[in-house]
Amino acid sequence: MLRIILIRPGSTDYDQQERIQGALDIPLNAQGVSEVARITEELRDKEIETMYAPACEPAQQTAEAIAESLNLRLRRLDRMQNLDHGLWQGMLVSEVRHKQPKVYRQWQEQPENVCPPEGEMLTHAEQRVHAAMAKLLKRHKDGMIAVVLSEPLATLVHRFMKHSELGDLWKVINSHGCWEILEVEPAKSLALSS
């Protein structure tokens, strides 16, 4: 049994302003740094073998701080940059809701069928998640690893590992500074994803 600690990065100014961050590199703010310190203490007694994070700034800052404090090896997750929200990036969620109510509602109900203007389809991000996580599952058969990912990529990883529904991705956009443990059987998860 492999246990994956799925960590959402600490918050940024965009999170607090309820702006869509997407693939933009925004540094952690003071609250985010505090959240990372709390997460580090909560994870101190876990027997984490390796920590993984993509190159995007909030995830990388979070992972570096935790890895340094807990003396963990930090490895880069290739191709796991966050979903490109295109022209929505930098906009307030409320602006999208008011300016594009139909698309906003579709994103709530069936996000896999919506492409943000000049952005990336969720299905493309899901393909990247499947490839990256399959690689991790082949490398780690048991033990405990940690993965730091921003939303909505963290939700896509959760969906891949637990075969769960997507839910409302507008609600998870402000999930930051938290973590959960996913227990997976790598062979079973790989077989189900094939």
* Percentage of the chain exceeding pLDDT 70: 95
Orientation angle between helical segments 153-162 and 186-193, nearest 10 degrees: 100
Query: Facing residues of 7 across strands?
Result: 148, 179
Could you tell me the end-to-end alpha-carbon distance of the chain, in angstroms, rounded to an integer? 19
Residue 19 backbone phi and psi in degrees, to 5 = -95, 155
CATH of the domain at 172: 3.40.50.1240
User: Tell me, what's the pLDDT at 167?
Assistant: 73
Amino acid letter, residue 187:
A
Claim: this prediction has a pTM higher than 0.85:
yes
pLDDT in tens, 39-64: 999 999 999 999 999 999 999 999 99
pLDDT in tens, 68-114: 999 999 999 988 999 999 999 999 999 999 999 998 899 888 888 88
| Band of residue 193 on the pLDDT scale cut at 50, 70, 90 | low
112: domain range? 2-193
| Band of residue 194 on the pLDDT scale cut at 50, 70, 90 | low
How many domains would you assign to the chain? 1
User: Tell me, what's the pLDDT at 188?
Assistant: 76
3-state secondary structure 132-186: HHHHHHHHCCCEEEEEECCCCHHHHHHHHHHCCCCCCHHHHCCCCCCEEEEEECH
186 or 33: which leads in pLDDT:
33
